[in-house]
Every structure is written in C-alpha cells, then in structure tokens.
Structure 1
Amino acid sequence: MSKRKNNGYKKSEKKRKQSNKPFGKKNSPSAARKGDKSKHPTTNKRHPDKTVTAEVTCTGLSNTGKGIIQWEGKQLEVEHLLPGETAEITVSTKGRYVNAELKRVLTPSKERIKPMCSYYYDCGGCQLLHMNEQAQTRFKQETVDKLMKPFGKPEPILTMDHPYDYRNKSHTTFGLNKERQIIGGLYAQNSHKLISMDGCLIHDPKADEIWQTIRDMMKSFKMQPYNEDTGQGFLRHVLVKVGKVSGEIMVVLVVASPIFKGKNNFIKALRKAHPEITTILMNVNNRNTSMVLGDQEKVLFGKGTITDILCGMKFEISAKSFYQINPVQTEKLYGKAIEMAQLTGKETVIDAYCGIGTIGLIASRKAGKVIGIELNKDAVRDAIRNSKRNDVKNARFFQGDAGEFMVKMAARGEKADVVIMDPPRSGSDEAFLSSVVKLKPKRVIYVSCNPETQVRDMKYLAQNGYEVKRIQPVDMFPQTVHVETVAEIVLK
C-alpha cells in the first residue's frame, strides 16, 4: 500500500501525520431518569442497567471488521480490535441491549498500525485504517470466502497499488463551530454531528483543495452555512466530481435558496483560485431531507457535465448520474465481467440496471448486440448520449423495469445469451430473478457491491437451473469493509 479518509493534513502535499488520538468514545446509553413512571421503564430487575470494565481476548473478526469477544456467555463485537489482541473494554448494559467499546489495547497485534487519519476514531467512514495492508486483504478475502462457500472457492482478491486518493466523487457539509467559525467536513457515522476536517485520505486531493477554498471564501462573501435545525443559512453541501483520466472537474454548490447574492463575483473568485474547474452548478435543495441533491439545478459555468475515460471509452457524467467511485479498480472489475461473459461477437447481451451505460457499452465491443434497461430516465438519456459519443452502433437503451422487459422478451420468443446485472446494495428481487429464469440466458454475470445479498440472489438462481462457475472479489473501497464481487453463473 502507498500512503494517503479523513486525515489531518492541511494541503495534500504536506506530510501526513499519524494519529496518536485515543479511541473515540461513542455515546453510551443514557441512564434512566429518576422518577420515570412511563409504561416502558428503562430498567428492570431481570436486566439491570450497568457499566463494567473487562479484560478480553479477541478471537476473530465479524463481516463488518469488528473484533469478536466473549463476555459472560455472550458474543460481542468491538470496533478497532484485532484477532489475538487482549484489551480492556467497557461493557454497557441497558435492558437487553449490550454494547462493548474498546478502552485500551493491552497486547497489540503485529498487524496493528497507527491510523494515518486524525479523524479516524470519530468519523467512521473508514473502518480498517488500524490494520496493515496484509491484514486488510486477508480480512476481505476470508469474508468473501466464508459467504461464498456454498458456491466454491473465490479467486484471490484484486487489490489496489495506491489505495488512497481514489474517490472521484466527494461531498462536504458546512456548519458553525462553538466559536461561530465556518467549518467543513463530514458527519460522524450514524449521526448528524459535523466533524471539522481539512481533507480525507480516500478523496481526490484536488477535490479537498476546492472545498477548502470555498469554506475560506464564505466569510468574505457573507455566505452562511445552512442549519438543519433552524432552517437558516444558504450553503448546505459542496459536491465535487473529478474525471480521473480527463482531469475535468465539476463543482456543485448545494444551496437552500435559489437566490444567490454575489453569485458572479463568487464564481469568478473560485475560478481564479482553481482554473482547473471545468463546470460549476447550483443545486437547490430546500427540503428537510438527508438527501444531498435537490431537484432544481442551474449551470453557473461550463457545460454542466464532465467527461471521463473508462476502459478506453468516453462517458459523460452529470451531477446526479451514477459513475463508479474508484475508476482504477472499476477497470479491473469490468475487465473480469467481460472475460466471464465469453463474448465472441455474436451474442445478445442485456445490461440490466444499466445506469449511464458504462458496462454495456464496454461489452458492445465484443458482443453482437447490447440492450440496456434502466428505470432512471435521466440515466437512460446519458447512456444514449454516451453511445453516440463512442460511435457505438450495436447498443440500444430503454427506460423501464428490466424484469418486465425480459418477461416480454421471453413471451415473444426472443432470446438473450448473456445478462449482466449490477443491482444496488439491497441486491435484486425475486421478480427480476424469475424473469432471468424465464428468459434462460446461457450466462448471467452478477456484479455486486454487497456479497451478502449476492449470495441470497445466487441461491435463487442455483435452485432454478443455474450454476455458479467463478467468483472474483475486487477491493473497490480500500480502508473500508466494503468489497465488490463479480460472479459467472451459467445455465446447466
């Protein structure tokens, strides 16, 4: 691994310091109020509330990267604890709920390292920065091996040479600290507590420089950060998308009101500080929602989109379009998917959940015909444009439900040789999978960002005439517990 989520550097070129920060304390369950006479008291005689300190030994890791320990006959999970380590932990019991937190490591593992990020124990966006490279790789491999055991042994995981700076999309939130100074950063995991940061280990460094500049400009332009509690303020988020190959950069200012005072001067100053920015948009989100982007969008500079190159093909990326976060690893992932499809130039390929058409258009170079189906009409429009941009003649894209589309194909007696599916983290559903079974393609190439739901879906296909031949894990999200997998599934 080379060096570089959420670190303490001021500028990307400065030396990155390792953190000596103690383990961050999560909010422990609050004590029951005295005199609480509600129908659901927080304490009872069978399960009294208590907090104790215990010395334990970690025996393994859960699928979420937490250390597994035994305490009073219970198996508990502790964040940031490694196998073989002895540690002092705090165990809090509230009714039937038991929570264990790491207090200090007594005998550290040889695989433990100091996190390069000074926000690591507060942020939660990365979960594996306390592990060295070998430990991270082995953890992900063993996690996939265990999940995929019913289907055989997966191939060795494809890792990343430089597992930092890889995210081509980042978004930053703004707020005020106790001294009423403007800060920018990320919310702590599972909370709305804003952590003030100066950058992130896995973000593109240029994206971090740009939002820092915007934060520093806000005071002179009398621009207030939006406050979710009061509904006051203007700037909610800054979204930055970077074309890793093209070098094009999109900046999206997510604001609470369409009235942007001093807009022209602000854009002029930002472009002067960062001439590498190729387009700037204003997105209006005036709803009380956790969604970053709103529906209303206006281009303030440039053409409103950026273009990047993936697997030798050009793709146009808009503010809302889905594009894989880590293009370096995406090329490895898609390369394996196309290899598993075993295309000869004659096959009809269905790209289900096609998005802006990336994998379908890449497959079109070796297929006879590609049919892309996607529910999001904006994504379909982008896919058609990307098809024209790459002069692809053998791919067509349709807006609609992929499962319904395939059922109609089967009813008409039409066939497909290969179905490529890349569903969201929740996986597919029985309606879609049953449509695959009805269409009976020779091969199903299943790309997944969640091996757990992939296993569930592959069991359905295995029970309905298919067999899993190969499984290839890819480390798409280094420093986190997430892993991507692609599986070759063939009709028996």
Structure 2
Amino acid sequence: MTKQKNRGYKKSRNKQYQSEKQNSKQLPPNKNRKNQKSKGKPPAADKRQHGKKSVIAEVTCSGLTSEGKGVIEWEGKQLEVANLLPGETAEVIVSKKGRFFNTELKRVINPSEDRAYPPFAYYHESVGCQIHHMNDQAQKRFKQQVIDERMKPFGKPNPIITMDHPYDYRNKNVMTFGLNKKRQIISGLYAENSHQIIPMERSIIHDPKADEIIQTIKGMMKSFKMQPYNEDTGQGFLRHVLIRVGKMSGEIMVVLVAASPVFKGKNHFIKALRKTHPEITTILLNINDRNDSMVLGNQEKVLYGKGTITDTLCGLEFEISAKSFYQINPVQTEKLYTRAIEMAELTGEQTIIDAYCGIGTIGLVAGKRAGKVIGVELNKDAVRDAIRNSKRNGAKNVRFYQGDAGEFMVQMAGRGENADVVFMDPPRSGSDEAFLSSLVKLKPKRVVYISCNPETQARDLKYLVKNGYKVTEIQPVDMFPQTTHVENVALLEIKK
C-alpha cells in the first residue's frame, strides 16, 4: 500500500503554489463592491493568445464570494476563481464555454498573509475542502462574515465557536471506486458537478484510520479479482466504501457498497481485511443497484460483527447503524448542543419537542434538563434507532414517534396541548411553510433553530418573525473546518 506523505504546511512564499482547477460562472456586476478591482489585463506576452480557447491573465483578487471563491475582473467581467484570496496577484487561465467562463489558478505571484498551504499535494483539486487554502484566522473571519450578512435582519450574531484542532474530524467517510484511463483501480471523491473521480489517498478532514482502511481495500481488490463498478456499462462490483468511526469508543464500521449481492470470496476477503485492520468491529455489504446518486441501497447484510457501532456524545451512548444520521463532527457537536440547550434556558420542568429528531441525539441530551421530551421523525429506521438509544441511556422522560412533525404539532394544538420549547434541525433545504405554520399554531415559548444552511434558515426566520416571534440570540458554530459550510443556532421567543 502506498501512503501519501504529509508534507506539512509550507511557510515559505518562495515556492509557487500549485495550479488549482475550478469551473467558474460569471458573477453579476456588483455596484456596491468596495474592494479594489484589478486591472484584469493579460500580460503583453500573452496578448497573442486572444482568439484561442484560453488566455493567461495577470489579475488581482478584489474579494470573496459566499462560497469562498476569489473575485477578479477581466476585460470588464467579474469572474470567480477557486483558491484565490483578496489582495493576491495571480496568473489565471481564462477560457469560455458557451455563455460561461472557466477559470484555473495557474500561479499565485504575491501570496496573502491569510494563505495556508495544504499538506497534501493532490489537494490542488480542492475536492471537499473549498477553503483549505485559508489559515485558521481567515476561515474564522470568512464564516463570521457569512453569518453576519445572512442574519443582519435579525440581529448581531455572537462570535463563531471554532475548533481547536480543525483536522481529521469526520467520523463518516465515503469513497467512490473506479478505473482510470490506464485501467488502474482508483478511489476518491467526485469532482464538483460531475461524476469524474478525483483520486485521493488522504484527506485533512477524514479520520486517518478510515482513509487507511480504504487504501487497504483498494490494494486488495486486484488479488481478489474485484472490479469497481462502471456507471456507464453497468459492469463491475464495488461502487463505494463507507467507513464510520466511533471517535470515543474506537469502534469502526466498514460498509462495502456493491452493485450485486454476489460476493465471491467474501470470507477470505473479510479475513484478510481484518488481519490488516483488527480494529474493525463490524463489516456490512450494502446492495445498491440503482442509477441515482444515492450512496446506500435498501438491501443490507452483516458480514462480520453486530452491524452497528456505538459512540459517546455529551455523556450519552448512541448506537449507530450504516444509515443513521449522526453528526459528522462529534467534538463540535458537543459545543453546538451545549450552546443550544443553554439558549433554551431549560429548568427541568418544560415540555420539549425535538422535531426532525433523527436517532434522538439532541432530544436525549436535552432530556437530562427537561420535564418531558417528544421526538418526532419521519424516517422509520431513525425512530427505531432513537427508541433503542433511549432505552440504552435509561431515559424515562423521552418518547419518540414516527410521523410528520408539523402534523404532530397541529394535532397537539387541536387537543389543547402545548410545548414550552421546540428544537428543530431540518435538512439543508430548511423547513417548508406547512411545518412553520404548524409551529406557529402550537405557539411554543421558545424555538431553537439549528441549521446547516444559513440561507434557508434566514428565509424560515423571516416567516416566524412575521408570525409572532422575535430572534433574541444567534450563535454560529464551525462544524466543518476547511469547508465553506457553517452551522448556525438561532433562538426565537414568542412576542408578549
């Protein structure tokens, strides 16, 4: 097995930064942009390239988009360039494809003091880590500004809660398998907006042991005559490998996602894999014969172990299955839940609803300081896991129900029942109006809205503010360092 060497962060500015690729759409003109704009003119030596497919232009970055991409001006057009920071002068390859312009960072001429050099050579492809080129302070400022801008109509957010060691934090990793042009087996992540696999051996945000196991599996495939699945031909066996790691327990789950249930030589394969990695506690075979982008299929078979792992969060023990929704970064999740529960001002007597409760994490944690907790979740498997976790932790005051949380709250209101606090943690798309109107009908005194997408959160907060609530506190948490994603908690209180 070939391991990628960790080259460490390079502090010298003399070494040229590697070329970084990213498709870029033209930005609409921004009349309010205050930062200095670049001249945007290609060097004299490159003027002869006009009329060809691409041009090398020397530009200066004037700002950042909300996706963390650098903004440049070239021939009167505002374009986005991945991995470029404000104030930096750079050579950028500009090409046109249809109505849109593509950009590729060729070379940074004058690096910013905010630049951090990635520790792995392949990271110039920027897969999964859109702002790894920013140092810790720059990432903190960037994410704070994103939240401040989104939450401006509702008040001033608190300072963002960051992570002490913003690496190796993911407890769930998925790698896709395929063949390169030389017919060699590769594993990695899809490039942005495509199904092209970018080979990766190590990620700065993945659990190191998870990446190591995936590389072991890739190295074993040839000797076991195991072919990666080909989406175009429908041939092959292995599509993905999913690894879950219990950060506190040390337990490890390996899920082999295959196109067929026929696994030739599986016993020998499992024996060889566990010989190399005895730390693996369970192995599953998941069958995915669909043509969509979902990683896991509906069929599942336990090949080794009990089929689940356990981990500890906020002093409680949770059982996690392959399909469980469990927060990716447990270190920051504890900080997030602690602040959310503090904002709810629980006294041990309130009735709480945990909407979108998943496997019951926040409901069970909040239950230690509440009178009664009602968790509602549409996914049957998640409710089953939540009930099991409730019994595992001896929670006497927590009950979980399968169903639509909005309909559940309407029924409560119809029976004259009430809730003091509602915790809501919807998907990235946010809540729909049906749920929000149900929340308004129930009239809880406080709503703690946890969001992984501040844009949809701002939309939902606007609805709640129009319908009898006010935002009294906003707390961003950096759950996903090295990426543009940021979690945000908003506390709403009913207007008296």
Give the TM-score of the pair, scaled to structure 1. Answer: 0.90
Tell me the equivalent position of 2:168: 165
CA distance in 1, matches of 2:116, 2:22: 22
CA distance in 2, matches of 1:415, 1:73: 58
Q: CA deviation at 1:119?
A: 1.9
Moved more, 410-419 or 89-98: 89-98
CA distance in 1, matches of 2:20, 2:162: 29
- 2:442 maps to 1:439: yes
Q: CA deviation at 1:412?
A: 1.1
Match of residue 360, structure 2, among 357, 361, 375: 357
2:166–2:481 contact (8 Å) kept in structure 1? yes
Tell me the equivalent position of 1:153: 156
Q: Describe the superposition over 1:260-311 as per-residue Cα deviations: whole angstroms up to 9, x where unpaired.
A: 1111111111111111111110001112222111110000111100110000
Moved more, 87-96 or 20-29: 20-29
CA distance in 1, matches of 2:409, 2:467: 16
Instruction: Indicate the SS of the match to 1:351.
Output: strand
- 2:264 maps to 1:261: yes
- 2:120 maps to 1:117: yes
Go from structure 1 to structure 2 and tell me whether the alpha carbon gap of 1:50 and 1:200 turns closer, same or farther (over 3 Å shift).
Answer: closer
Q: CA deviation at 1:76?
A: 2.5
- 2:79 maps to 1:83: no
Instruction: Indicate the SS of the match to 2:399.
Output: strand
Q: CA deviation at 1:92?
A: 3.2
Go from structure 1 to structure 2 and tell me whether the alpha carbon gap of 1:11 and 1:121 turns closer, same or farther (over 3 Å shift).
Answer: closer
Query: Which ranges in structure 2 are unaligned for 5 or more consecutive residues?
Result: 26-50
Instruction: Indicate the SS of the match to 1:119.
Output: helix
- Give the counterpart letter for 1:234 in structure 2: F
Go from structure 1 to structure 2 and tell me whether the alpha carbon gap of 1:489 and 1:167 turns closer, same or farther (over 3 Å shift).
Answer: same
- Give the counterpart letter for 2:222 in structure 1: K
Tell me the equivalent position of 2:343: 340
Instruction: Indicate the SS of the match to 2:336.
Output: helix
Go from structure 1 to structure 2 and tell me whether the alpha carbon gap of 1:101 and 1:215 turns closer, same or farther (over 3 Å shift).
Answer: closer
Match of residue 367, structure 1, among 365, 370, 379: 370
2:23–2:104 contact (8 Å) kept in structure 1? no
Q: Describe the superposition over 1:214-242 as per-residue Cα deviations: whole angstroms up to 9, x where unpaired.
A: 11111111111111111111111111000
Instruction: Indicate the SS of the match to 1:116.
Output: coil
- Give the counterpart letter for 1:343 in structure 2: L
Go from structure 1 to structure 2 and tell me whether the alpha carbon gap of 1:27 and 1:345 turns closer, same or farther (over 3 Å shift).
Answer: closer
2:20–2:82 contact (8 Å) kept in structure 1? no
Match of residue 24, structure 1, among 10, 20, 25: 20
Tell me the equivalent position of 2:278: 275
Go from structure 1 to structure 2 and tell me whether the alpha carbon gap of 1:49 and 1:489 turns closer, same or farther (over 3 Å shift).
Answer: farther
Q: CA RMSD in A?
A: 2.1
Go from structure 1 to structure 2 and tell me whether the alpha carbon gap of 1:137 and 1:177 turns closer, same or farther (over 3 Å shift).
Answer: same
Go from structure 1 to structure 2 and tell me whether the alpha carbon gap of 1:308 and 1:239 turns closer, same or farther (over 3 Å shift).
Answer: same
- Give the counterpart letter for 1:338 in structure 2: I
CA distance in 2, matches of 1:237, 1:123: 20
Tell me the equivalent position of 2:3: 10
The residue correspondences of 1:84-483 to structure 2 (distance < 5 A) are: 84-94=87-97, 96-483=99-486
Instruction: Indicate the SS of the match to 1:238.
Output: strand
Tell me the equivalent position of 1:34: none
Q: Describe the superposition over 1:8-53 as per-residue Cα deviations: whole angstroms up to 9, x where unpaired.
A: 98168x6557696632345799xxxxxxxxxxxxxxxxxx997544
Moved more, 98-107 or 133-142: 98-107
Moved more, 221-230 or 235-244: 221-230
2:311–2:319 contact (8 Å) kept in structure 1? yes
Go from structure 1 to structure 2 and tell me whether the alpha carbon gap of 1:238 and 1:20 turns closer, same or farther (over 3 Å shift).
Answer: farther
Query: Which ranges in structure 1 are unaligned for 5 or more consecutive residues?
Result: 1-7, 30-47
1:21–1:118 contact (8 Å) kept in structure 2? no
Identity %: 73
Tell me the equivalent position of 2:40: none
CA distance in 1, matches of 2:197, 2:313: 34
Q: CA deviation at 1:456?
A: 0.7
Go from structure 1 to structure 2 and tell me whether the alpha carbon gap of 1:128 and 1:9 turns closer, same or farther (over 3 Å shift).
Answer: farther
Q: Describe the superposition over 1:416-469 as per-residue Cα deviations: whole angstroms up to 9, x where unpaired.
A: 000000000111111111111111000000000011111111111111111111
Go from structure 1 to structure 2 and tell me whether the alpha carbon gap of 1:76 and 1:182 turns closer, same or farther (over 3 Å shift).
Answer: closer
Instruction: Indicate the SS of the match to 2:121.
Output: coil
Moved more, 119-128 or 258-267: 119-128
Go from structure 1 to structure 2 and tell me whether the alpha carbon gap of 1:20 and 1:289 turns closer, same or farther (over 3 Å shift).
Answer: farther
Instruction: Indicate the SS of the match to 2:145.
Output: helix
Q: CA deviation at 1:95?
A: 5.1
CA distance in 1, matches of 2:2, 2:73: 38
Q: CA deviation at 1:359?
A: 0.2
Q: Describe the superposition over 1:188-210 as per-residue Cα deviations: whole angstroms up to 9, x where unpaired.
A: 22221112222111110111111
Go from structure 1 to structure 2 and tell me whether the alpha carbon gap of 1:170 and 1:20 turns closer, same or farther (over 3 Å shift).
Answer: farther
CA distance in 2, matches of 1:445, 1:392: 22
Instruction: Indicate the SS of the match to 2:280.
Output: coil
1:53–1:89 contact (8 Å) kept in structure 2? yes
Go from structure 1 to structure 2 and tell me whether the alpha carbon gap of 1:198 and 1:93 turns closer, same or farther (over 3 Å shift).
Answer: closer
CA distance in 2, matches of 1:308, 1:284: 25
- Give the counterpart letter for 2:19 in structure 1: F
Go from structure 1 to structure 2 and tell me whether the alpha carbon gap of 1:104 and 1:357 turns closer, same or farther (over 3 Å shift).
Answer: same
Q: CA deviation at 1:73?
A: 4.1
Q: CA deviation at 1:398?
A: 0.7
CA distance in 2, matches of 1:98, 1:153: 37
1:9–1:199 contact (8 Å) kept in structure 2? no
- Give the counterpart letter for 1:10 in structure 2: K
2:144–2:476 contact (8 Å) kept in structure 1? yes
CA distance in 2, matches of 1:450, 1:322: 17
CA distance in 1, matches of 2:326, 2:115: 33
